[in-house]
Amino acid sequence: MLERETAFDPRLLSATTRALADAAPEADRTGDFPWAGIRAVHQSGLLESTVAARYGGAGATLHEAATILAALGRGDPSVALISAMTIFNHLGQATKSHWPEDLYKRLLTEAKQHPLLLNAARVEPELGSPARGGLPATVARRTASGWSITGRKRFVTGAYGLTHFLVWAHTDETPARVGTFVVPNELPGIRVIENWNSLGMRASGSHDVEYTDVEIPLEYVIDLVDPSVAQQDNRAHAAITLALTALYLGVAEAAQEAFIRFAHERVPTNLGHPIARTERFVTLSGEIDLLVSGARQIIFDALRDKHAEAEKHIRARLLAGGQLRDAVQIAVRGIGNPGLNADLGLERHFRDIQSVLVHAPQEDTSISILGRAAFDRWNRGEADRSSNSTSIPILRTA
């Protein structure tokens, strides 16, 4: 288990980032599960960084988790994304204590021997993202010894390498309830459907997964509740989604580094010196740095604010995400043809950064939240103005 005093040793993060970066090109090329990178994260102890102190963990905060994800994202954002799902699940248990205690402690014991990888399986072909509303078609049927899970999920990041799927489903009870069912991987009835063929984040392996009568114990369930209280609260998840954006900050920082290295190594014969000394590349470097460093400040200032409302986190994510995309595009466009060559790495960073705002809640949903909040503020102000208005007395003279 990760020791608190070494959890954020820059040397540890740097060494892990280098290990991921070394393996990232091959993982991107093949699209295979990135075991080399995941093992490096596990060996560093970073996968368990947010395990609560009461379980013997480092008890990292969301702000600290974002610091880790930024470092991992500089190496391989697919590995960072797979790791993030486990890191956030540990953070959720640290704050909510919603897992069955015996089950959670048993998983922590297993994590000492091999990577414990957890991820929610929530999106469905018909339903789409739960962030847009709706309840799952996946069903959990009561059996003599537990539950039987049947359904299909989409975009299950890390599907092949997960140790446990956290499957969102409704029960066959009357009345029905909904909850998250802990489904160990490799049980009979689980089929990974290899249909992840994305522009970027290729090694994330976000395939569909089909569950057919998968049997799990009765206690392997989290937050089993009435459907009326089960709708995903996009505002409540705003801080987590902002922290997830930090891994794409890492992508942009890696792109910035590749741009700077190229500018210093490229020496055209007609110049006789590196293009980094030309005014054009100095200006491009400044534009990239303004966007990337500005995004870092936006993300971490918002996460550092313990009293920030959801709108601040949503606004920070949209602003930072847009800046990160723009920064990588400037780097690729500024270098020209060499920037599109896989050897330099910028081409991969450009593809990966396109995913920065596709995570739920998606960009349009996030903007709608801000729009409604702005209307609500105006309506409250209008009500206050109306209630506080008084008629002006008229001075009468004899």
Q: What is the rounded distance in angstroms from the CA atom of residue 314 to the CA atom of residue 369?
A: 8
pLDDT of residue 361: 87
pLDDT by residue (tens digit) across 90-148? 999 999 999 999 999 999 999 999 999 999 999 999 875 665 567 899 999 999 999 99
**Among 96-105, 117-126, 231-240, 273-282, whose mean pLDDT is lowest?**
231-240
Nearest Cα to 249, choosing from 342, 357, 343, 366? 357
At 252 the pLDDT is: 98
Q: 342-385 pLDDT, tens per residue?
A: 999 999 999 999 999 999 888 999 999 999 999 999 998 877 77
Pairing of strands 190-193, 164-171: unpaired
- pLDDT of 133: 60
pLDDT of residue 276: 97
pLDDT number for residue 236: 72
Read off the pLDDT of each residue in 274-303 and give the average, rounded to a whole number: 98
Mean pLDDT in residue range 63-78 = 98
Mean confidence (pLDDT) of the chain:
92
Question: What DSSP assignment string belongs to 296-362?
Answer: HHHHHHHHH-TT--HHHHHHHHHHHHHHHHHHHHHHHHHH-GGGGSTTTSHHHHHHHHTTTTTSSSP
Query: Is residue 326 predicted with pLDDT exceeding 60?
Result: yes
pLDDT at 246 over 90: yes
Which has the closest alpha carbon to 317: 209, 255, 222, 234? Answer: 234
pLDDT band at 389 (very low <50, low <70, confident <90, very high): low
- Per CATH, the homologous superfamily of domain 120-227 is Butyryl-CoA Dehydrogenase, subunit A, domain 2 (2.40.110.10)
Top pLDDT among 305 and 234 is at 305
The CATH fold of domain 4-115: Butyryl-Coa Dehydrogenase, subunit A; domain 1 (1.10.540)
Residues 6+ apart with CB under 8 A from 228: none
What's the fold here for domain 238-378? Butyryl-CoA Dehydrogenase, subunit A; domain 3 (1.20.140)
**What's the pLDDT score for residue 387?**
72
Angle, alpha carbons 336-276-290 (nearest 5°): 80
| Spatial contact of 230 and 64, defined as CB atoms under 8 Å apart | no
* pLDDT given for residue 398 in this prediction: 45
**Longest Cα separation, the chain:** 98
pLDDT the model gives residue 131: 59
Task: State the amino acid at position 70 in one-letter form.
Answer: A
Domains of the chain: which residue ranges?
Answer: 4-115, 120-227, 238-378
What's the pLDDT at 230?
65
pTM, rounded to two decimals: 0.92
State yes or no: pLDDT of 5 exceeds 60.
no
pLDDT digits (tens, 9 = 90+) for 196-223: 999 999 999 999 999 999 999 999 999 9
